[in-house]
Structure 1
Amino acid sequence: MDTMFVAEPVIDVHGILRQQVLLSVPEKKLCAEECRGLCMRCGADLNQGPCGCDRQEKITPFSVLKDLAKG
């Protein structure tokens, strides 16, 4: 947490609390600690075994841009 210097006698903590709450939320929700989640490509339940996706191509949020560059 950063150090804040204030000149006013009243501190608005709404922004600070909001930021701390958002930072405490897990990046991805899982049903249990040992849960392997779902495949990002096909949505298969990875707890039941590996899916049939081709995992050689890495999936990123920018993968869509690769298709645009090809076309």
Structure 2
Amino acid sequence: MPGWVVEYTISATTFLAIFIVVRLRRRTEARSRVDEAFTVFTAVVFGVLIAATAWGHAILQLVGIAADATR
């Protein structure tokens, strides 16, 4: 069963990534506060879903290395 959860997470993550890119390509002037809040919400959900994948762990390690290098 764990393999199924990982596949579902990757599928949902891919869908959200495409959704966020499409939403962010729109003109900024055309967005309402609710529209911007929804985009932020989907980006946060994307981050939570991608954190469970190996790719998410690799990004976390790179950010940690970059943070250590700036000290």
What band does the TM-score fall into relative to the shorter chain?
Answer: under 0.3
Larger radius of gyration: 1
- TM-score, normalising length: structure 2: 0.27
Name the structure where helix makes up a greater proportion of residues.
2
